[in-house]
C-alpha cells in the first residue's frame, strides 16, 4: 500500500476493505502459511484415524463397560490436540514475522490506525483458520467413524451433539490460532510468543493438575485445552464445563488477550 491513511480521521469500511485484501495477500504468499495449514490438517486427520484404529484393534479385549464409555466423536477428533500447535504457530507468524524482519514499520506507516490493522489481521486469519480447521475436523470425523464402523462403534453426524462437537473442534483450533496472534502482538517475538502459547496449552494444565482437589478440577476446567475438550466432547464429563461453558471460557481468554494486544500495539513504538 503506497498511500498512508490519515491518522486524524476515523477508520471507515472503505479503508478496511483494501486492508483486508492486503492482509489476505500477505497470508497467502508466505510459505509458512501453507506448511502450517497442511500440518494442521494432517495432524487432525492422521492422529484421529490412528487412535480410532488403535481402539478397534483392542476392541475384543475391552470390557462391556469400557465399550459403553467411549466417545466415538471425541476419539476421531483427538488429533486436534496436536493440530493446535500448528495453527497456533501460524497465528503467531501472522504478525511476529513482520516484527522480525522490520516490515512492521512499513506496514504501520501505510496504516497508522494500528487497531484497525490488528483487526484486519485477526479477521483474515479467523476466516482462513476456521475454514481449514473445520474441513479437517469433518474429514477426521468421517475417517474415524469409518474405522470404528468395523466394530459397530461409530456414530452419525445426525446423532445428538455430534455436529456441534465437530464444529466445536474447528472453532477451538481457530481460537487457539487467534490466541497465538494476540500473544505475538504483545511480545513481538516469534520464539517468545510460541513458548508462551505452548506453555498455556501444554505446561499450565500439568501444573494446575498438581493442585489439591477440588482446585485442580475447578481451575482446570477454565484452561484453554480443557475448554476445547468440552467443545468437542459428546458424552458428559464432570471434569469439564458444558460445551457452551467451554466456548465462553475460551472466548473470554482469547478476547482478554486480544484487548491487551490492541492496547499494546496502539501505545508502543514499532
pLDDT of residue 9: 47
167-203 tens-digit pLDDT = 999 999 999 999 999 999 999 999 999 999 999 999 9
Q: How far apart are CA 146 and CA 166, in angstroms?
A: 15
pLDDT of residue 67: 83
The stretch 148-162 carries a mean pLDDT of: 92
118-142 tens-digit pLDDT = 999 999 999 999 999 999 999 999 9
- pLDDT category, 22, cuts 50, 70, 90? confident
Higher-confidence residue of 7 and 163: namely: 163
Q: How far apart are CA 244 and CA 56, in angstroms?
A: 31
Higher-confidence residue of 270 and 234: namely: 234
pLDDT of residue 12: 54
Secondary structure of 120-180 as H, E, C letters: HHHHHHHHHHHHHHHHHHHHHHHHHHHHHHHHCCCCCCCCCCHHHHHHHHHHHHHHHHHHH
pLDDT of residue 1: 38
| Residue 242 pLDDT greater than 90, yes or no | yes
211-224 tens-digit pLDDT = 998 899 999 999 99
| Residue 148 pLDDT greater than 70, yes or no | yes
pLDDT of residue 256: 97
Report field, pTM of the whole predicted structure over 0.95: no
For the chain, percent of residues with pLDDT exceeding 70: 94
Q: How far apart are CA 246 and CA 239, in angstroms?
A: 12
- pLDDT category, 8, cuts 50, 70, 90? very low
- pLDDT category, 101, cuts 50, 70, 90? confident
Amino acid at each position: 500500500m503506497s498511500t498512508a491513511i490519515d491518522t486524524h480521521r476515523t477508520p471507515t469500511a472503505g479503508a478496511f476493505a483494501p486492508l483486508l485484501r492486503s492482509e489476505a495477500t500477505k497470508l497467502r504468499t508466505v510459505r509458512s502459511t501453507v506448511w502450517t495449514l497442511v500440518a494442521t490438517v494432517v495432524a487432525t486427520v492422521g492422529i484421529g484415524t490412528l487412535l480410532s484404529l488403535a481402539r478397534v484393534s483392542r476392541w475384543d479385549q475391552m470390557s462391556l463397560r469400557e465399550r459403553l464409555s467411549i466417545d466415538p466423536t471425541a476419539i476421531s477428533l483427538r488429533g486436534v490436540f496436536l493440530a493446535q500447535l500448528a495453527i497456533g504457530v501460524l497465528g503467531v507468524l501472522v504478525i511476529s514475522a513482520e516484527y522480525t524482519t522490520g516490515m512492521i514499520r512499513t506496514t504501520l506507516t501505510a496504516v497508522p490506525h494500528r487497531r484497525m490493522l490488528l483487526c484486519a489481521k485477526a479477521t483474515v486469519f479467523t476466516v482462513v483458520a476456521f475454514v481449514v480447521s473445520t474441513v479437517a475436523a469433518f474429514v477426521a470425523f468421517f475417517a474415524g467413524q469409518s474405522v470404528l464402523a468395523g466394530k459397530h462403534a461409530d456414530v452419525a453426524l445426525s446423532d445428538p451433539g455430534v455436529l456441534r462437537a465437530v464444529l466445536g473442534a474447528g472453532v477451538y483450533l481457530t481460537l487457539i490460532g487467534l490466541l497465538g496472534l494476540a500473544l505475538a502482538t504483545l511480545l513481538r517475538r516469534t520464539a517468545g510468543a510460541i513458548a508462551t502459547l505452548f506453555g498455556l496449552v501444554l505446561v499450565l494444565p500439568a501444573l494446575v493438575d498438581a493442585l489439591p482437589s477440588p482446585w485442580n478440577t475447578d481451575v482446570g476446567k477454565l484452561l484453554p485445552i480443557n475448554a476445547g475438550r468440552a467443545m468437542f466432547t459428546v458424552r458428559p464429563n464432570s471434569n469439564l464445563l458444558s460445551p457452551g461453558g467451554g466456548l465462553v471460557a475460551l472466548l473470554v481468554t482469547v478476547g482478554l488477550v486480544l484487548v491487551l494486544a490492541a492496547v499494546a500495539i496502539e501505545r508502543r513504538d514499532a
